[in-house]
A = this chain, B = another copy of it.
Amino acid sequence: MANEIRLSDLAARIGAKLAGDDAVVTGIAPIESAGPGQVTFLANPKYARFARDSAASGIIVREPVAGGRAAFLISENPYYAFVCAVEVFHPPTRPEPGISPAASIHPGARVGRDVTVAPFVAIGDGASIGDRTVLFPGVVVGKGSSVGDDCRLYPHVTLYDGVRVGSRVILHAGCVIGSDGFGFAPSGSEYRKFPQIGTVEIEDDVEIGANTTIDRAALGVTRIGRGTKLDNLVQVGHNVEIGRDTVIAAQTGISGSCRVGSRVMMGGQVGLAGHLEVEDGIMLGAKSGVAGTLRASEGRIWSGIPAIPHQAWLRVSALLPKLPELFRRVRRLEEGSKTKEDE
């Protein structure tokens, strides 16, 4: 961790250009509270007044702000540069490597080098854990499952049998990978369980939130593509395929067999009905409900239940509160019309 760094050195490390005094700084803070000796950032020009009034020693900006006293660290992508600055002051740490004697590791499992296995971790027969991966207390890795290198599985993560997790994957506490999909064949009024014999593949650089659930495929694979990020309490049904660098906010639910493209963004509490497609690059507003395939050619941003193009939904939702007034106006027109007829 850097305790002290000159702004010129920091600028070099985060790919920014210094304009102003080359002060020594010791930490980072949000723009509302950053003080002397601290670095902050301004991503949204709307908050320029904060930059002018800030007592921070350095502000990462796209363009200098007139009237500010702080030095500027000029960057094309101030938010990204700030993230790099946070890492300078708070570099990632990891628990010491070592295998707790209170873990249960099947002799048929393979554990890589410099792995951390905390107490009460259970690793099944035929499972494999890559190098430098950290398994926090209570993690369960089912039979034949594999986890790549440099992963971090927080407490109580469950991998069912036979699922595959890539490298540099972060799984937050309580998330469940590979539970049975929800498939039942009715026979009269009863149900017979469809054996869920497929698997799950989590590709490299994925991050999955706390208590999120990802079902294994009935047949085949449920896939989460490289670099995709899922927030907490998300549900991913069986046989879903999600592309790369897609971002899905908390409590969203994706029904079985959906195909979600790459670079898709979903707000929180979104719901997708089954067997539909959301094309690459589409954005879905929070709480929207998707009933059919969404084509990027028909709209980049969708909202509402059922989802329609976002601009249309904004107009509709602004008019909804005026519905009682509209009914009154129509009633008045009808009365006028009736009066006319009666004349």
Q: Chain A interface (Cβ within 8 Å of chain B)? A: 28-30, 33, 77, 79-80, 82-84, 86-87, 90, 92, 100, 102, 104, 118-120, 122, 136-138, 140, 154-156, 158, 160, 170, 172-174, 176, 179-180, 182, 184-187, 189-195, 197, 207, 209-211, 213, 215, 219-220, 227, 229, 231-233, 235, 237, 244-245, 247, 249-251, 253, 255, 262-263, 267-269, 271, 273, 286-287, 289, 304-306, 308, 312, 315-317, 319-324, 326-327, 329-330, 333-334, 336-337, 340
| B213 near A182: Cβ-Cβ < 8 Å | no
Give the contacting residue for A320; candidates B28, B87, B186, B323; CB below 8 A.
B323
| A286 near B289: Cβ-Cβ < 8 Å | yes
| B140 near A247: Cβ-Cβ < 8 Å | no
Bound CA–CA A87/B92 (angstroms): 47
Bound CA–CA A340/B232 (angstroms): 60
B contact residues around A305 at 8 Å (CB): 287, 305, 317
| B156 near A160: Cβ-Cβ < 8 Å | no
Within the oligomer, what is the number of copies of this chain?
3
| B337 near A333: Cβ-Cβ < 8 Å | yes
List the B residue with the shortest CB-CB distance to A287: B289
Give the one of A80, A232, A340 with max B CB within 10 A.
A232
B contact residues around A322 at 8 Å (CB): 327
B contact residues around A247 at 8 Å (CB): 184, 191
| A213 near B211: Cβ-Cβ < 8 Å | yes
| A176 near B179: Cβ-Cβ < 8 Å | no
Q: List 16 A-B contacts (CB under 8 A).
A: A28-B219, A83-B194, A119-B120, A122-B138, A138-B140, A160-B173, A182-B229, A189-B244, A191-B227, A191-B245, A233-B253, A235-B250, A255-B286, A268-B271, A269-B289, A316-B323
| B253 near A210: Cβ-Cβ < 8 Å | no
Bound CA–CA A327/B333 (angstroms): 13
B contact residues around A30 at 8 Å (CB): 219-220
Min CB–CB distance A11 → chain B (angstroms) = 17
Bound CA–CA A237/B184 (angstroms): 25
Give the contacting residue for A316; candidates B173, B321, B336; CB below 8 A.
B321
List the B residue with the shortest CB-CB distance to A232: B213
B contact residues around A137 at 8 Å (CB): 104, 122, 140
